[in-house]
Structure 1
Amino acid sequence: MTDALDGQIAIVGMSGRFPGARNLNEYWANLRDGVCCVSDFTASELLADGESEEAIAHPDYVPAKGYLADADRFEAGLFGFNRTEAAALDPQHRLLLETAWSALEDAGYDPAQGPARTAVYVGGSPTEHMLAAATDPSMTAAIGAMQVRILTDREFLAPWVSYRLGLDGPSMTVQTACSTSLAAVHLAAQALMLGECDTALAGGVSVDCVGKRGYVYTEGGIFAPDGRCRPFDQKAAGTVPGNGVGVVVLRRLEDALADGDPVRAVIRGTAVTNDGATKVGFTAPGVDQQTAAIVEAWSAAGLDPAAAQYLEAHGTGTELGDRIELAAASAAFKGARDVGIGSVKSNIGHLDAAAGVAALIKSVLMLEHRTLAPTVNCDGPHPELQSENTPFHLVDERTEWPRPADGPRLSGVTSVGIGGTNVHVVLAEAPERPANACPGATVLPLSARTDAQLAALTQALAETLQAQDAPSIVEVAHTLCTGRGAFPVRTYVVADSAASAVAQLTSTRRVTDPLGEAWLEGEDVTWPVQRGARRVSLPTYPFAGDSYGALSLAKRYAEPAAQQEQDIEAAIAAVLCEALGIEGPDVLGRTYFEAGGDSLTAVHLVGRMRDEFDIDVSIDMFLEQLTLAEMAALISAAKSPGGDDSLTSLLDEFEQEG
């Protein structure tokens, strides 16, 4: 590796689905135009998706979220899953598989025949589906406990991608709370520099539930009272939960340039630190190690932080989080002047494990379009931004991003996780490379699994070729011939220019070609080598899978209250008998100690009541002279009718500041 490129990592492909955006073109349009994509739900929408009337009636209930549409849809057959497996597979796994596929296609590689030594570093959030599956005896009975675990546990996010796409590099599921996906990018970059892999997929996914769901505002908590996130604003009062998924494809810059990859941006340096015990509490952020992460990343890049023009911050919009992040960044960027700052959380909410990659992709898109996208929901800058002690100004309007006279456009991206894991990435714009001229007419093959998908792909390609910055036709042909799979429904055009290709793609008339006709007949075609041609970013596969839904604990408790209480009481009695190793028609008439109970078993049962029924039981109950039947009834009575409230609280806790 040459000294000039040593340690530089190219982002050669990207894919993502975020609130209000089915793809990255829509994502950029929303960012560029300053659109807040947080949804406000009606009561009927919430009830239809399983929220309880009691929850909605809470005076502090906020019916808002960064909602991800169609998060339950999945093209299972493309990835080799049958319907039973697809229904059990966690929605996070489904979305991550499709997004990884699209990211490889965006990089110009056939996902079914990915590059050798490709690694996967990804992470995800806890989900309602996962929790419901783990506590559903009928699912365990149907497909087995091991299958339930490997189809739903986030521990297997990375291995499923590696397995279904045939990727044989390191495969690791990363978990650092809200900084998970940016930590995954750091680890992937390190693995590339160490030579552990030659290509890496990195990112994260967060889909706590697929339905429309709000949250309960708590004064002093992480969430905003009005369903809007206002990072670095004078009225900042909290964040809003959101769902999404993002994956980037990374290669060593030298390799990417040599192989003609579509370099979208360059990672110049990364760093990870942890606050340790230097902060006021486990969930609180800390100043010193946030500063250290930034300084170390820019040092690794061989750059002065003062050279930065923009910082995409973690930016939760909480009073404590914003204040600490501004203090840390101001110390790290000491000497810089007039650096823009913003946070994508204002647009889409806080995506938990996917928050970092959402911020990274935003920054790459801004570099590509040479435009700073606005942070929305702004009323006026945070008081700290009006101080002489900070080099930052809040970017609240779309702004042209001029290239500095002494170097490339440079951006920093920060992500912070509960528990103190701080990550910073230094980004630079991609090196300019002239497009290849078209040598003459060439075949553009297209294929899909259905007629409708082929029509969608054809239309998307035509729109791409009509754009002012459309790639050369020879590069388009090279990418379609070498970077896409061969599906049964096919078409092709022969063109020597973008205009000629568009004319044929949008009509039924086309020029014929022997190789193209063989392609139509379903043959395996060896396309001519386009010497010197590079891969380019083109429309990716238009997934059109069925809805496989998602498991919900709320639905499990939607039966009539009397039946629910009876079922829970019987289940509790069964657990008591199982733990005590007793059976028979009369055993429930015994007291706990008459049945052979002791203090250790009591501790075990307290844990099982909490884990399996979400009921907190005092250990003193086992010391009372109660029959097991009476004990089961009392424990069951402690279960509130809104059996899913504790789940919602648990998921809310996982979503909180990271």
Structure 2
Amino acid sequence: MTTEEAAPHELESAVAVVGMGGRFPGAPDLDTYWANLRDGVCSLSAFTEKELLADGADPAELRNPAYVPAQGYVADADRFEAELFGFGRGEAAALDPQHRVLLETAWSALEDAGYAPLDAPSRTGVYVGGSPTEHALAAGTNPALAASIGALQVRILTDREFLAPWISYRLGLQGPSMTVQTACSTSLTAVHVAVQALLLGECDMALAGGVSIGSVRRQGYVHYQGGIFSPDGRCRPFDEKAAGTVPGSGAGVLVLRRLEDALADGDPVRAVIRGTAVTNDGAGKVGFTAPGVDQQTAAITEAWAAAGLEPSAAQYVEAHGTGTELGDRIELEAASAAFAGGTAAGGGLGIGVGIGIGSVKSNIGHADAAAGAAALIKTILMLEHATLAPTVDVTRPVAALRNSPLRLVTEAREWPSRAGLPRLAGVTSVGIGGTNVHVVVQEAPERRSRASAAPQPVVLPLSARTETQLSLLADRLATRLREADAPSAADVAHTLRNGRVRMPVRAYVVAAGPREASDKLTALAEGRRDATVDPLGEAWLRGEGVTWPALDGEVRRVRLPAYPFAGESYGALTLRGAAPIPSVPEDPSPSPSPSPESELETKVAELVIEALDLDGAGGLAQTYFEAGGDSLTAVHLAGRLRDDLGIEVPIQLFLEPITLKDMTTRIVEMKQNGDADGALDALLAEFEAEA
């Protein structure tokens, strides 16, 4: 589809992704992120005991056989270029690292779109969300900090409620500013809200995405049988060995504009969002944290209907895919129903091949509030490179895929084009609490080629806060201009002049083409100034407010390397001094309730008491829900009963209005009578991630 071929109705209802920024495990920028995805790299970190102890781990916890020293870790999340955003040292130290990372990611995304972060359109909206953080919790319980800067200021600098307003304030953006929270589906929901705002005319540009920096410390987690976390620090979505997810961190921001506006203004369109939809499971599930099949299916079909397409037109689906046995099973059931027909002519990856499916969580873990942005950015990068990236650490896809239109992508392969339809994909995200989101993404329209003219020498102005950063920026730009798809020198000049903030340390080169510019920029990075002297370039060096003349011919914004942040470490507050959580007594205290009458009943009762943290056998007089039970606890308890005692328990038993004492009796009877009905197959309670 060329610009001229874009149908009028499509222009009216489509939104362009014109810029992206992101930081993910093993990837400080999106170029590295793509290289890791393409090459099938698992970026989950396995920490040594020395590393964990250095970051404050409890030695006793490390001795726990169930402790898994792994995480999707974002390096240098404690660093922040505070001065660039107008923060003093005290404020920067109190500011949550999650806020710091998101501010820098938003800056990079705007630069990627070719817009100066401090001079973006004023009607730019911000729609982002984040995760709970150790820093925010520690700050809120730190009397000394409150006494120093005030309790209200502590909240403003740490609460995720202020993620969006800080971006709007520091970048001067006057559109709607909303912090969106739907647990694990937060950042993809933020994209949906931003798309709707653009189509309704509430803003003309939008930043959308999310961040999750729960802690800047290297740390692992404790694996619990029947819980959501992997026992070996690896996440294997849709694989027979799938046993749980791995906590991760990350940040992703997308810059969105109405497609018609983006094309008219010559923006660097990276992909097109054709349709979005959000649903909630409501009460039609076994518990608050449980997922539901029907409304996941509805989110998919509604998004494709909004796009004016059948779901079977998809070639690929980036799934929520946490690698939990039951969560993946439910998602496959929902997606298989929605994408039925994907092997038909014109659909999928080819006749008889089906629709590809994968999950970035195998690479980076579960980034919680940033998970949807990580998935959407991955999908857009695959569309740009016409390459399907593999889901890693997969040995054998689950049997449920055999009768599904979906096929797990386990190795990098070309994303084939097809006659009559552009490349199309869907991205799904699911949140605890039941918020399901689906986004339909299409490859970008081909940029219209322009008549070539004799290139003229142009001034390429650069600036940074330090000489080191200026050299690094010159080197990265030189590398970009040596690539096969390097933009023209005129487009580079236009983008540098209008799409970058003017900073105190400055330099320039004069060049007529990308190769000449690359050579001079390399020399500049090595400390050798361009011998060509230009009057406006010299005024730029002196720090004057240069008004650049119009460039000859048609020019447009192009993607260039973003600003190389180089802030110092401001650390983060921790909870290392927190009191340990009291354990459940191994020997329940005496109570008026009758004691279990058999050894098996005693063991069942002990598991129930431990799972629900009851004060001894007296607590067995309550019902499951009166005792504070929920669906996640039910998963844990059912798994323990199965693994420790060989008893399969149906989910209906937890829902019945009977006491826990009666429930233990019923569980023992099931074991004795052998009438268990495949509890875990019926158990819909396990969800995909920890909020």
TM-score tier (shorter): 0.7 to 0.9
Shift of 1:432: 0.2
The reply to whether residue 514 of structure 1 matches residue 535 of structure 2 is: yes
For residue 60 of structure 2, give the secondary structure of its aligned residue in structure 1.
helix
- In the other structure, the counterpart of 1:523 is 544
Shift of 1:521: 1.1
- In the other structure, the counterpart of 1:371 is 387
- In the other structure, the counterpart of 1:400 is 414
What TM-score results when the alignment is normalised by the length of structure 2?
A: 0.80
- In the other structure, the counterpart of 1:13 is 19
For residue 547 of structure 2, give the secondary structure of its aligned residue in structure 1.
coil
- What letter corresponds to residue 433 of structure 1 in structure 2? R
- State whether residues 188 and 373 of structure 2, in contact with CA within 8 Å, keep that contact through their aligned partners in structure 1: yes
- In the other structure, the counterpart of 2:643 is none
- In the other structure, the counterpart of 2:362 is 346
For residue 113 of structure 1, give the secondary structure of its aligned residue in structure 2.
coil
Distance 1:348 1:467 in 2: 28
1:49 to 51, 55, 75: 55
- What letter corresponds to residue 406 of structure 2 in structure 1? F
Distance 1:271 1:65 in 2: 31
Moved more, 467-476 or 129-138: 467-476
For residue 246 of structure 1, give the secondary structure of its aligned residue in structure 2.
strand
1:223 to 229, 232, 249: 229
1:431 to 439, 445, 449: 445
- In the other structure, the counterpart of 1:550 is 572
The reply to whether residue 478 of structure 1 matches residue 497 of structure 2 is: no
Distance 1:123 1:9 in 2: 20
- State whether residues 15 and 103 of structure 1, in contact with CA within 8 Å, keep that contact through their aligned partners in structure 2: yes
What TM-score results when the alignment is normalised by the length of structure 1?
A: 0.84
The reply to whether residue 241 of structure 1 matches residue 233 of structure 2 is: no
Distance 1:557 1:99 in 2: 35
For residue 11 of structure 2, give the secondary structure of its aligned residue in structure 1.
coil
Distance 1:427 1:104 in 2: 20
Shift of 1:3: 2.5
Distance 1:514 1:288 in 2: 66
2:429 to 410, 415, 422: 415
Shift of 1:60: 0.3
Q: 1:617 to 1:275 in 2, by over 3 A?
A: closer
Shift of 1:116: 2.3
- In the other structure, the counterpart of 2:85 is 79
Alpha-carbon displacement from aligned partner over 1:421-475 (angstroms, at most 9, x marks no partner): 0000000000001344464111110000000000010000000001111112211
- In the other structure, the counterpart of 2:298 is 292
1:40 to 42, 46, 58: 46
- State whether residues 228 and 688 of structure 2, in contact with CA within 8 Å, keep that contact through their aligned partners in structure 1: no
- In the other structure, the counterpart of 2:666 is none
2:510 to 471, 494, 503: 494
Distance 1:108 1:528 in 2: 18
The reply to whether residue 213 of structure 1 matches residue 219 of structure 2 is: yes
Q: 1:54 to 1:502 in 2, by over 3 A?
A: same
- State whether residues 316 and 657 of structure 1, in contact with CA within 8 Å, keep that contact through their aligned partners in structure 2: no
1:449 to 465, 481, 484: 465
Shift of 1:396: 0.4
- What letter corresponds to residue 414 of structure 2 in structure 1? E
Shift of 1:4: 3.5
For residue 329 of structure 2, give the secondary structure of its aligned residue in structure 1.
helix
Runs of 4+ in structure 1 off by over 6 angstroms are none
Q: 1:77 to 1:654 in 2, by over 3 A?
A: farther
RMSD (Å), alpha carbons? 1.6
2:141 to 135, 149, 163: 135
Distance 1:513 1:128 in 2: 52
The reply to whether residue 539 of structure 1 matches residue 561 of structure 2 is: yes
2:108 to 96, 99, 102: 102
Shift of 1:655: 8.9
2:260 to 246, 254, 262: 254
State the percentage of identical aligned residues: 70
2:121 to 115, 139, 152: 115
Shift of 1:57: 0.8
Moved more, 304-313 or 276-285: 276-285
Gaps of 5+ in 2: 1-6, 344-353, 581-612, 616-685
Alpha-carbon displacement from aligned partner over 1:368-389 (angstroms, at most 9, x marks no partner): 00000000001011111122xx
Give the number of aligned pairs: 565
- What letter corresponds to residue 437 of structure 2 in structure 1? V
Alpha-carbon displacement from aligned partner over 1:299-328 (angstroms, at most 9, x marks no partner): 000011111000000000111111110110
- State whether residues 146 and 154 of structure 2, in contact with CA within 8 Å, keep that contact through their aligned partners in structure 1: yes
Moved more, 186-195 or 402-411: 402-411
- In the other structure, the counterpart of 1:611 is none
- In the other structure, the counterpart of 1:644 is none
- What letter corresponds to residue 46 of structure 2 in structure 1? D
The reply to whether residue 59 of structure 1 matches residue 59 of structure 2 is: no
For residue 422 of structure 1, give the secondary structure of its aligned residue in structure 2.
strand
